[in-house]
Chains A and B, each alone.
Chain A
């Protein structure tokens, strides 16, 4: 054991990223590739009545313009293709920004200009863009991914009626867009009926499966490559129509085609966090113990699909409460399909954690103490004891670091010059997945190890962590381990989403590497030329690339010598299942609110998290910094605006869809409990990445209340709401 797992090892791909040599999917040179550009609908509801492509076709460099008239008929894949329809298959228009044609040209500039020359005529109907304009009663959609949208435990309405104390409120949040810095890009390259895709995806295998379904091809004809990804946050988890449309166009044109979405197109073609309403009723005892939660949520759906992505997991599982009734409803609007976005439970979590704050004021109980009183180690869904949950330690650690005990509870009582100062807190929680995976390890004649697995590193540190695991299991320096990922031809793994990656692939990588180690040790002790010949395998340890007799350290061999004498590489595979679960934490925030202008600044944040074993403190910390910043964006600025007359996005760019910049965020103090979870096969680690952020909007909102006495229940908390 080198003990690399758990250490803050620098990212193994750091050099490639800081020198610009890391090749992202849009960077791969593909000889002869044409540039594609999408023509998208300007109306939100209706149909295409005519498309005139002659001017575009006459533009220099244009090779083809395809519309629904030319496109082959394709099969609409199920989730993770969440769109419900494929564009360019007919004339119906379901949302503004829907692709209606694709232009292929020799250069990007030619494709882009020619796209503006395609003349499209529409018959249009008045669209519905926001929940307020739905003109329909919300309804309960059918189960999504086998999860029903209605959930009951006990008798919530009776318990609520009998509750000693009740809190009832409406919370809401607008549409938000992921906006990874790297736009979605796809390059399709056909060779007969074999397709290679250079794809910005969080799941090479998922993309392969979806595209295979769309084209009616066996999956093994398709190879998907994503060695690096410039951010996903869920936007690149599902497969979106541009990938399928572009691949179909490349097949028709018999040329490779590269398509990169514009920033504006990413506001209608790659999912978003749906507009969301939450009606919450909480019943409690006078001591603050929860007796009932009744929650009805409303999310934006579309006319082509009805999946609820804004989950209410926290409401049902975070605190002990015997009586819960949740209904996740939706209304169908004429805007683009929503999808998962970093920590999908954040929207509902905001209401729950704000309502608890409201309850704490009603009861006169400290908000942190209220959460302690409702803490549980019992899984609220199964009734079983949770193997490892250290949320109470998180509370204590972070509260001490923040100085929570010094808080003056009175709202609006702390002022510094023109600013009110407020402190707020909220619990964080996230449900992570675990998806079966297989890894392989090859020890070459040079004694170096190559790990292969069809996972992805979307910036979370996957590559580094699997190298740490492999190096530890083998007993070699991390520089002797190389990870090959992001290729569907590699041993099977799934999406880098739902915080599933580390939970899913750590066990398989460790198993494959341990098997490789045991194989090499076996070769050594069976080889007369080895100093370890005849030594029982249990007496051999591996360290720094050496195989060493535990009781006679002078007797040693090396990976390199053993494998090169054997004359062929050692190859092993490993596969270990894991179970899904939850990670937890707490966030404390300080805000300053300008007394006259209502401007809110977040000036201090302290977090503590329980994620089982911390595999790499650097990369884990990165997830916290990212999550807190996203939470600040959600709480204070991020907001996609629709024009209600046309159902078009008004701010499809980064100068009017505001995301936090460097000067908007404070330094965050990130603390970890770091205790391995005995129930996890991922070396004691749990899925974590999306846990931070879940509580941040509520912590900030609660701090704003503490600062000002004003409760804002509709996010984002913009200045106008505090004037």
Chain B
């Protein structure tokens, strides 16, 4: 199942890693998971599947091989390069996007598995010129340096706030630990998330 229901209290710091194992395993089920346009024959290298993805509220048609990750579909096919690839193995969090409101690592899910889901990337967060409270808080608190991890941090932070995992600094640190920041803006990220959470609740 592409989108397991959200059990807020059963998440741990390793949840994202665990759910990525599920995503990886489901590649074996590809013909089923991609039922419809992807007949078993479509799994041949070079064959493409036409997939309609709903990204940032817009319906986007993309022709991809079934093996194409959501991340590479976004970056290489849809020109949405705000989402970054840091490791392509679910370890860094740079590729974090929201799928039906839940944060996932887009390098560990296939584009064909996300038909019918609402995908939000960093490009889709702001409301016109009005930044999302998390984006604004990241600027205020200097929660980035190079910006390589920032899209992923922000998407993760949006979900973290929505999940209600912002009760204390320690809780934020725990729940934001699936996103590496090599520049190590962690302290400022924590401040930004706490601040944004206050603002969202207001």
A, B assembled together: yes
Interface string of B24-51 (1 = CB under 8 A from A): 0000000000000000000001100000
- CB atoms of A660 and B45 under 8 A apart: no
- Specify which chain A residues have a CB less than 8 angstroms from the CB of B139 in the assembled complex: 10-11, 14-15, 18
B125 CB to closest chain A CB (Å) equals 7
Complexed CA–CA distance, A230 and B122 (Å): 16
Contact of B146 among A21, A231, A664 (CB under 8 A): A231
List the one stretch of A45-53, A107-115, A525-533 in contact with chain B: A107-115
User: B87, B94, B145: which has the most chain A beta carbons within 10 Å?
Assistant: B145
Q: Is B72 an interface residue (CB 8 A)?
A: yes
With contacts A662-B177, A662-B190, A663-B177 known, is A108 near B86, CB below 8 A? no
B108 CB to closest chain A CB (Å) equals 12
Closest residue of chain B to A60, judged by CB? B46
- Specify which chain A residues have a CB less than 8 angstroms from the CB of B135 in the assembled complex: 18-19
Consensus secondary structure, chain B interface: loop
A interface residues, tally (CB under 8 Å): 64
Complexed CA–CA distance, A681 and B138 (Å): 33
Contact of A181 among B81, B88, B180, B190 (CB under 8 A): B180
Complexed CA–CA distance, A274 and B177 (Å): 28
Contact of A661 among B81, B154, B180 (CB under 8 A): B180
- CB atoms of B142 and A618 under 8 A apart: yes
Q: Is A486 an interface residue (CB 8 A)?
A: no
- Specify which chain B residues have a CB less than 8 angstroms from the CB of A401 in the assembled complex: none
List the one stretch of B3-11, B98-106, B181-189 in contact with chain A: B181-189
- CB atoms of A20 and B179 under 8 A apart: no
Q: Is B57 an interface residue (CB 8 A)?
A: no
B142 CB to closest chain A CB (Å) equals 5
A661 CB to closest chain B CB (Å) equals 4
User: B86, B125, B147, B176: which has the most chain A beta carbons within 10 Å?
Assistant: B147
With contacts A15-B139, A662-B190 known, is A21 near B86, CB below 8 A? no
Q: Is A221 an interface residue (CB 8 A)?
A: no
- Specify which chain B residues have a CB less than 8 angstroms from the CB of A228 in the assembled complex: 146-147
List the one stretch of A123-131, A350-358, A386-394, A623-631 in contact with chain B: A623-631
Q: Is A332 an interface residue (CB 8 A)?
A: no
Complexed CA–CA distance, A22 and B76 (Å): 16
- CB atoms of A18 and B92 under 8 A apart: no
- Specify which chain A residues have a CB less than 8 angstroms from the CB of B169 in the assembled complex: 667
Q: Is B121 an interface residue (CB 8 A)?
A: yes
Contact of B88 among A27, A233, A262, A621 (CB under 8 A): A262
- CB atoms of B188 and A663 under 8 A apart: no
Interface of chain B residues 142 through 180 with chain A (CB within 8 A): 142, 144-151, 154, 169-170, 172-174, 176-180
- CB atoms of B94 and A630 under 8 A apart: no
- CB atoms of A19 and B45 under 8 A apart: no
Complexed CA–CA distance, A625 and B143 (Å): 11
- Specify which chain B residues have a CB less than 8 angstroms from the CB of A280 in the assembled complex: none
- CB atoms of A654 and B81 under 8 A apart: no
- CB atoms of B65 and A23 under 8 A apart: no
Interface of chain B residues 67 through 105 with chain A (CB within 8 A): 67-68, 72, 75-76, 79-89, 91-92, 94
Contact of B138 among A18, A182, A233, A628 (CB under 8 A): A18
With contacts A180-B146, A661-B177 known, is A113 near B87, CB below 8 A? no
Contact of B173 among A15, A262, A663 (CB under 8 A): A663
- CB atoms of A459 and B86 under 8 A apart: no
Q: Is A499 an interface residue (CB 8 A)?
A: no
Q: Is A449 an interface residue (CB 8 A)?
A: no
Contact of A459 among B80, B91, B122, B147 (CB under 8 A): B147
Contact of B145 among A109, A263, A459 (CB under 8 A): A459
Q: Is B123 an interface residue (CB 8 A)?
A: yes
Complexed CA–CA distance, A459 and B188 (Å): 14
Complexed CA–CA distance, A663 and B140 (Å): 22
Interface string of B97-130 (1 = CB under 8 A from A): 0000000000000000000000001110110000
- CB atoms of B138 and A181 under 8 A apart: no
Q: Is B131 an interface residue (CB 8 A)?
A: yes
Complexed CA–CA distance, A668 and B188 (Å): 10
Complexed CA–CA distance, A558 and B140 (Å): 31
Q: Is B13 an interface residue (CB 8 A)?
A: yes
Q: Is A540 an interface residue (CB 8 A)?
A: no
Q: Is A443 an interface residue (CB 8 A)?
A: no
Interface of chain A residues 581 through 639 with chain B (CB within 8 A): 618-619, 621-622, 625-626, 628-630
Interface set of B (CB-CB < 8 Å, partner A): 13, 17, 45-46, 65, 67-68, 72, 75-76, 79-89, 91-92, 94, 121-123, 125-126, 131, 135-136, 138-140, 142, 144-151, 154, 169-170, 172-174, 176-190
Given A181-B92, A663-B174, A665-B186; 12 other pairs, CB 8 A cutoff: A17-B150, A18-B122, A19-B82, A20-B80, A228-B147, A621-B142, A655-B89, A659-B182, A663-B170, A664-B177, A667-B169, A667-B187
13 A-B residue pairs with Cβ-Cβ distance under 8 Å, sorted by A, are A14-B139, A14-B144, A17-B150, A24-B147, A26-B81, A107-B68, A109-B67, A109-B72, A622-B185, A626-B145, A629-B186, A662-B179, A668-B187
